[in-house]
Amino acid sequence: MTDYYCVFGNPVKHSRSPLIHAEFAHQTQQTIEYTAQEAPIDGFAGAWQAFIEAGGRGANVTVPFKGDAFALCDTLSHRAARAGAVNTLMVGGNGRTYGDTTDGIGLVRDLAYHRVALAGKRILVVGAGGAVRGILEPLLAEQPSGVVVVNRTAAKAEQLARDFADLGSITGGSFDTVNGTFDVVINGTSASLSGDLPPLPDALFNTHAWAYDMMYGAESTVFLQWAGPRGAKLLDGLGMLVEQAAESFFLWRNVRPDTTFVREMLRQQLRFFT
Known catalytic residues? 66
Binding residues for NADP(+), as ranges, are 127-131, 151-156, 214, 237
Q: What is the DSSP string of 24-66?
A: HHHHHT--EEEEEEE--TT-HHHHHHHHHHTTEEEEEE-TT-H
- Please count the other Cβ atoms lying within 10 Å of the Cβ belonging to residue 233: 15
**How many alpha carbons lie under 13 Å from residue 197 in its C-beta half-sphere?**
12
Instruction: Enumerate residues 6+ apart whose C-beta is below 8 A from 88.
Output: 58, 59, 60, 61, 99, 100, 101, 102, 247, 248, 251
Of 37, 36, 38, nearest in space to 18 by CA: 36
Q: Provide the β-strand partners of residue 108.
A: none
